[in-house]
Structure 1
Amino acid sequence: MEHGENEGMGNAANLSLPVMYIFFSLLVVLHLVMLYKSYLSWHLIMSVVLGLIISSTLMLSLLFFVRQYANLLQFTYPFPSLVYGSLGLSFVLGMYGVTDLVRKRHQIEGYEKSMTPSSFPLPANRYRNVRILTEGGVGIIWYAERISDNLAVVVKVPRRVDEKTGMSFMQEISVWKDLDHPHIAAVLSANILPVPYIEIEYLPGTLADIEMPVATSRALQIIRSLVSALVYAHERGVAHCDIKPSNILLTSDGYVKLTDWGLARSGSSRWSVSGFSPRYAAPEQHQQASDCGYGTDIWEIGMVFSELLTGNATIPTGSEPVFLQREGAEILPIIQKCLASSPGDRYLSVKALLEDLDMHIRR
């Protein structure tokens, strides 16, 4: 009889052990995936936590209601209570994950609905005289005055809250807050929770507001200022990747400052946020595998330089009126080198570009 029971147990083990191994392996994998949930989308996290609930529920059901599985567990494992406890914990973690995701989803949806031009999302006791300056695809730019010191500021908040926008804001804050240069707009404060925002100094205009073309001397002054800011940024491992007139702020006396570092690339960052402004983007940004580096900033500077002198953001042919004059003809090779289609044929660094600009200005 004993031999028959042992044989029966052996047959049960042969049938049931693979099923138990599969379920336990799945639970281990799901728990490992949850360690990296900060990198996962909302939908993938929801799939994982539902997997935890379903797998742990099925295993507990088999152990409680199918005798051969309970016997097998006692026969093969010396501490079955630990298995029951771990399965119960997996179920609880799964349920908590679902409720937490649903709660956060409702918060996000509520926040997105609140993002209308008539509703400023930050506390009313912090700012006054708020108004929308501009709206983009990712963020809304507000003018506001701080109640604490009457300082006029610009507040950038996201239009929506999703993985891509959150990455963009975290990237922008992490890169921009450490940049301190006369020609880079200063970040005054920033935070991610409860509402992501970046507060920067207020400047009344942008380069996109001025009438182009401008005088050669004025164009040189603007470009040299921007290149000096890029030398500073590149030395700290940061490429801007979105240089265009609307991202170049102007003080009332015409002083320029580079703003909007949402697409910046940094070697110290965990993220690479993709995107570009087609009119000013370098050839490598238009490729299917869009790329950006220091050479991209040089291309975009060249495009802005060309627009300042000709009124058009295009690669100059040399036949434009400004380049038929002596000073314009001397500047043309600098712009053309910036706008070489291959990054390797452009200036190898913004410092080299700055040296050529300074050499021309000293003439």
Structure 2
Amino acid sequence: MTEVASGGGGSYDVPMDPGSLVAGRYRLEEELGQGGMGAVWRAVDLELGREVSLKRAIAGSAGQIRREARVGAGLLHPNVVAVFDTVVDGDAQWLVTEYVQAMSLDRIIETDGPVPESRVLAIGAQLATALVAIHQRGIVHRDIKPANVLVTEDDVVKLTDLGIARWTEVTQTGGAQLTGTLGYVPPEVANGAEANAASDVFSLGATLYAAVEGQSPWGDGADGPFSQIQRAAKGSPLPYQRARQIRRLLDALMEPNPADRPSAAEAAALIQGADLPRRSWKRRLRPVRRGAILTAVAAIAVVSAVLLAWFLPRGPEAPAAKSNLIGLGADPAAVDPCAAIPTDALREFGEAFVDPEVRNFASCVISSTLKDGSGQVQSALEFTGPEEYPSRPVVPGQMGEIERPDETESNCERAVNLPDGNRLTITSYRIKNAKQAKLCPFAESLMQDVLATLSKGPLPPRPELPADSLLNVDACTLLNTAEASQAIGEASDPPDADLGHWGCTWDGKANEVSAAFTREWTIEDDDDWGGKVIKVGDRNARLIPDPDNKAVCTAMVVHWLYKPRLPVLEGTDEMREEVVSVRLVDKSAASSAAVCARTRAAAEAVVRRLPDVP
């Protein structure tokens, strides 16, 4: 699938070729299409090493390019194509945006025909949350239509093309102009009024109408644009042919009178089947059947999470604690990460089993036995503190954009910065066969479910563990600065602590040593770890040189062996171990043996400070 540029036909006057450089930084790779404002290219940002989209303004449209850049600047939302920059190359103006590997909704309709109602609900939920974000910034999009809705293979939706959007506080001079696309304009705009937030909601409904019916509510334009504009002006959409369970939802979104339409936030809640205070549209709207929503892709579940993120109070009058509505609460180390996973998570893929006794204390794992019996996929949830060097802007108090790296041969990852400053990462990977299973649908579905859970408030506290459990130990106290410096040379003071202080890293000039807690099946009997079983003090351990890098060695030291309080995954070891993983990196090392000797010495110092075995 390829990204489809929004807009209709267009031309540009200076041809560009693949391999051409724009502003000395962006290498053009592939022309994706031409829109009303210019040509759209897939390109590579040579400075940051990432793919981007470049839109080149045609003659007379540079102003719209600049407007789109201003409107999109700072609008970071998982369902809006991110705007990065504008650059000038010679006489040409270019807009630099996020590159999305996706197909436009109008192309999906054209290729596959009308979209099932369950999928329309999933698409609509994401579009509504995008509109909430846009309207919260005082912006009206003014051109919501299927061509401006990008849908990825995983059914993640991205709203694009802010070229004719405007701020609502801009003063109009002269009469209103007909903006948007004829098939999706609301009655008030067709009658000459200026588009506003309610107009966007109408166009959202018209877009969903087109998805389920296969054409716009004003017809396909075969009988000429005058017929479309007449129907729009009268507010008389064509009768439904295919819509069944979402008719009243569409009726509410496409109310002829703007004052009677729900807001974008209310539209998002309606798509979820929420019960809202009565209004004229509410009296005529029956709740969408719950079963229809449950059959939609998991993207619907994120609506409440994103809504809360964008409704966080802003300004000096807002209590500071409100910025943590979506997050881990006042004490991130005290919450139970497994409580973020709903009981029905990933059930659409097969039998799911949640295991709270693996990885570190800020993690939880869910294993899925696939319906077709081909194997198992495991998805790991982990909370961490803020990134030291974030890959994209972080806005305190606002939900970050969900990061979606491409699937690799071994895993698929999804990550997001939470409004409270902490970070959520979900990684899916195969643990038993399942060679044909696509991993990203697992990671995407679980991400949406977890965000929906977090939107309901802080997670409950984790179950109590023995006082001498590593849960209650500060990893940064296990080595002092002198001991860390003996291992790696001049060590940082203070060291860098992970979330909950369950991991700590001491940096040297080119080396580092770290101590981190994890929970594993018994490591002494598992030769898959490599290395050799040794004693460190009075503790069992494994000393493991990295087979591919002589600069790295790890000592895994057993703190205690215990039986989990809950049943374990069938076919796995009934016992678990709390483990301290001591890892040393020395880039100047002559051999792995020398690195492992210093790793073992550091582990000996760590063991001396561990509490007694519970």
TM-score range, shorter chain: 0.5 to 0.7
Tell me if the contact between 2:37 and 2:57 (Cα under 8 Å) persists in the aligned partners: yes
Q: What SS does the aligned partner of 2:272 have?
A: helix
Tell me if the contact between 2:138 and 2:168 (Cα under 8 Å) persists in the aligned partners: yes
What letter matches 1:203 in structure 2?
V
Hey, what's the Cα distance between the residues in 2 that align with 1:156 and 1:357?
33
Within 5 Å, give how 1:256-271 maps onto structure 2: 256-267=157-168
Task: Name which of 214, 218, 225 aligns with 1:311.
Answer: 214
Hey, what's the Cα distance between the residues in 1 that align with 2:66 and 2:193?
20
1:286 aligned onto 2:190: yes
1:187 aligned onto 2:83: yes
1:342 aligned onto 2:257: yes
CA deviation after TM superposition for structure 1 residue 249, in Å: 1.5
Task: Name which of 15, 24, 30 aligns with 1:116.
Answer: 15
Task: Name which of 162, 173, 183 aligns with 2:69.
Answer: 173
Q: What SS does the aligned partner of 2:243 have?
A: helix
Residue 56 of structure 2 corresponds to which residue in structure 1?
157
Q: 1:115 to 1:337 in 2, by over 3 A?
A: same
Q: What SS does the aligned partner of 1:157 have?
A: strand
Tell me if the contact between 1:171 and 1:269 (Cα under 8 Å) persists in the aligned partners: no
CA deviation after TM superposition for structure 1 residue 313, in Å: 1.3
Hey, what's the Cα distance between the residues in 2 that align with 1:179 and 1:124?
24
Hey, what's the Cα distance between the residues in 1 that align with 2:139 and 2:120?
24
Residue 570 of structure 2 corresponds to which residue in structure 1?
none
Q: 1:271 to 1:159 in 2, by over 3 A?
A: farther
What letter matches 2:38 in structure 1?
G
Q: 1:125 to 1:252 in 2, by over 3 A?
A: farther
Q: What SS does the aligned partner of 2:54 have?
A: strand
Within 5 Å, give how 1:189-338 maps onto structure 2: 189-191=85-87, 195-204=92-101, 205-210=103-108, 211-267=112-168, 275-287=179-191, 289-314=192-217, 315-318=237-240, 320-323=241-244, 328=245, 331-338=246-253
Hey, what's the Cα distance between the residues in 1 that align with 2:27 and 2:88?
21
What letter matches 1:321 in structure 2?
R
CA deviation after TM superposition for structure 1 residue 344, in Å: 1.9
Hey, what's the Cα distance between the residues in 2 that align with 1:212 and 1:278?
21
Hey, what's the Cα distance between the residues in 1 that align with 2:35 and 2:203?
20
Q: Deviations along 1:269-322, whole A, 9 cap, x unmatched?
A: 5789953211111223323x452101111111111111111212113524x233
Q: Deviations along 1:215-245, whole A, 9 cap, x unmatched?
A: 2111100000000110111111011110111
CA deviation after TM superposition for structure 1 residue 362, in Å: 4.5
Residue 406 of structure 2 corresponds to which residue in structure 1?
none
Hey, what's the Cα distance between the residues in 1 that align with 2:77 and 2:63?
24
Q: 1:268 to 1:142 in 2, by over 3 A?
A: farther
Tell me if the contact between 1:316 and 1:336 (Cα under 8 Å) persists in the aligned partners: no
Tell me if the contact between 1:138 and 1:158 (Cα under 8 Å) persists in the aligned partners: yes
Q: Which has the higher contact order (CA 8 A, sep 6+)?
A: 1
Q: 1:264 to 1:129 in 2, by over 3 A?
A: closer
Hey, what's the Cα distance between the residues in 1 that align with 2:88 and 2:168?
21
What letter matches 1:353 in structure 2?
A
Q: Deviations along 1:109-143, whole A, 9 cap, x unmatched?
A: xxx98523559986374233433211123222112
Hey, what's the Cα distance between the residues in 2 that align with 1:113 and 1:352?
41
CA deviation after TM superposition for structure 1 residue 191, in Å: 3.8
What letter matches 1:358 in structure 2?
Q
Tell me if the contact between 1:212 and 1:307 (Cα under 8 Å) persists in the aligned partners: no
Hey, what's the Cα distance between the residues in 2 that align with 1:294 and 1:342?
13
Hey, what's the Cα distance between the residues in 2 that align with 1:119 and 1:198?
17
Q: Deviations along 1:174-220, whole A, 9 cap, x unmatched?
A: 11112111101111222467532211111122112212312211110
Q: CA RMSD in A?
A: 2.8
Tell me if the contact between 2:212 and 2:242 (Cα under 8 Å) persists in the aligned partners: no
1:128 aligned onto 2:27: yes
Instruction: Count how many residue pairs are aligned between Structure 1 and Structure 2.
Output: 240
Tell me if the contact between 1:170 and 1:192 (Cα under 8 Å) persists in the aligned partners: no
Residue 352 of structure 1 corresponds to which residue in structure 2?
266
Task: Name which of 14, 28, 46 aligns with 1:147.
Answer: 46
TM-score (norm 2): 0.36
Residue 102 of structure 1 corresponds to which residue in structure 2?
none
Hey, what's the Cα distance between the residues in 2 that align with 1:142 and 1:113?
13
Q: 1:154 to 1:270 in 2, by over 3 A?
A: farther
Tell me if the contact between 2:123 and 2:157 (Cα under 8 Å) persists in the aligned partners: yes
- Structure 1: tracts of 5 or more residues without a match: 1-111
Q: Which has a greater percent of helix?
A: 1
Larger Rg: 1
Hey, what's the Cα distance between the residues in 2 that align with 1:299 and 1:133?
29
Hey, what's the Cα distance between the residues in 2 that align with 1:198 and 1:182?
19
Identity %: 28
Q: 1:176 to 1:361 in 2, by over 3 A?
A: farther
Q: What SS does the aligned partner of 1:198 have?
A: strand
Q: 1:123 to 1:357 in 2, by over 3 A?
A: closer
Q: 1:353 to 1:139 in 2, by over 3 A?
A: same
Hey, what's the Cα distance between the residues in 2 that align with 1:264 and 1:232?
14
What letter matches 1:286 in structure 2?
A
Q: 1:156 to 1:355 in 2, by over 3 A?
A: same
CA deviation after TM superposition for structure 1 residue 154, in Å: 0.8
Hey, what's the Cα distance between the residues in 2 that align with 1:125 and 1:230?
35
Hey, what's the Cα distance between the residues in 2 that align with 1:256 and 1:170?
24
Hey, what's the Cα distance between the residues in 1 that align with 2:117 and 2:147?
20
Q: 1:293 to 1:121 in 2, by over 3 A?
A: farther
Hey, what's the Cα distance between the residues in 2 that align with 1:362 and 1:113?
49
Hey, what's the Cα distance between the residues in 2 that align with 1:243 and 1:356?
19
